[in-house]
Amino acid sequence: MIESSCHCGAVRLEIETPPREVTDCNCSICRRYGVLWAYYPLSQVRIVPPSGATDIYMWDDRAIQFHRCKTCGCVTHWWPVDESRNRMGVNARLMDLAVLAGARVRRLDGANTGKYTGEN
Ligand SMILES: [Zn+2]
């Protein structure tokens, strides 16, 4: 198991396996957040505490919730409003440096084509 936590430690995510790859997306929100996303099925991630420690931002079709720590402001993860999608994103920037170093970084052109364009 690996862990991802915000700067102040109020929000922790316990994740079954380290990411093999993470996504660097240039869409309007990801580029502003400066995040790297590691995607998981919902059952592989435990959020501690399960609620109450984050504020939520939604936009556009409001299909996913972007969570950020209420205390330190770090973007911790996104979660699908429709859980049958069974996919969520953890901000891999909040993982240990060694864990992140073990993942390849793929560039996603979310701003335009929605396709992966290469690796960093
Ligand atoms: Zn925090």
A 10 A CB-CB count for 94 gives 23
Contacts of 76 (CB under 8 A, 6+ apart): 4, 6, 11, 13, 54, 67, 68, 69, 90, 91, 94
Q: Tens digit of pLDDT for each residue in 2-37? A: 999 999 999 999 999 999 999 999 999 999 999 999
CA 100 to chain centre: 13
Amino acid in position 36: L
Q: Tens digit of pLDDT for each residue in 76-99? A: 999 999 999 999 999 999 999 999
| Distance from the first to the final alpha carbon of the chain | 26
Ligand 1: distance of its center to the CA of 49 in Å? 12
Q: In this structure, what are the phi and psi dihedrals at residue 47, rounded to the nearest 5 degrees?
A: -100, 125
User: Looking at the whole model, is its pTM more than 0.85?
Assistant: yes
Ligand 1: distance of its center to the CA of 117 in Å? 32
